[in-house]
Structure 1
Amino acid sequence: MLHVGFLVLEMFLWTKPQGRAVFRMTPERAEATRVLAANQGLYNGFLAAGLVWSLVEPDPVLAFKLKVFFLVCVVVAAIYGAWSVKPHILLVQGGPAILALLFLLSAS
């Protein structure tokens, strides 16, 4: 659900007051980075789609592999975001994915 929220925030609310408030941006900065944010939002949408696919996939082996793959993608993206933007991203984006990955691996 986080990635669906990120998609909405980055693709549709980036230049709106709600989006600017989340990232503490001026209207000018939001407009200047609008295309980059939309690209990030699209990426988050693909991650959300992959995770949803892993939940509805009827083949349990494939479903497990999809869950692991997409959760690892989220963790890698969070590590990169923490390194390149701000460390807090690791907690907000990576934390839930790391927990989900740990639960998934411990349950198998």
Structure 2
Amino acid sequence: MLIVSVILTAIVAIEHVYILILEMFLWTGPRARKAFGTDKAFAEATQSLAANQGLYNGFLAAGLLWGLVHPDASTGHQIQLFFLGCVLVAAVYGGFTAKRSILLVQGLPAFIALIAVLLT
């Protein structure tokens, strides 16, 4: 189960690195506009807000990666639990205030990874 929890946590971290890239660097481009359902005018008007959001997603990814590589397994386990919980809370909030698909795209992987980490 340890390998499964590591893989699932890494997937959540990679997903948040991808979101960071979309929000910080590609926000006004077609890929990010399609992913987030925005038009060019909105994307340009909200570029600095999106970059800020991207930075926070980067912090979530960094925390998850930190938990995976921490030299003390017990501490790394606790770090993973904390950051997966943060992702899950953010996904629930985003799912109810922005787009329901956030629950599936971000919340479900985080929930599955959290269960796997809890079972290790």
- Alignment TM-score, normalising by the size of structure 1: 0.95
What is the aligned counterpart of 2:85 among 72, 91, 100?
72
Tell me how far 1:86 sits from its aligned partner. 1.4
Distance in 2 (alpha carbons) for counterparts of 1:26 and 1:65: 40
Q: Greater relative contact order: 1 or 2 (C-alpha under 8 angstroms, separation 6 or more)?
A: 2
| Greater alpha carbon shift after TM alignment, 23-32 vs 5-14 | 23-32
Gap runs ≥5 in structure 1: none
The equivalent of 1:21 in structure 2 is: 34
Distance in 2 (alpha carbons) for counterparts of 1:5 and 1:102: 23
- Alignment TM-score, normalising by the size of structure 2: 0.86
The equivalent of 1:4 in structure 2 is: 17
Moved over 3 A (4+): none
Instruction: Name the Cα RMSD after superposition.
Output: 0.8
What is the aligned counterpart of 1:50 among 49, 63, 73?
63
Tell me how far 1:68 sits from its aligned partner. 0.3
Identity %: 56
The equivalent of 2:6 in structure 1 is: none
Q: Does 1:98 align with 2:72?
A: no
The equivalent of 1:86 in structure 2 is: 99
Gap runs ≥5 in structure 2: 1-13
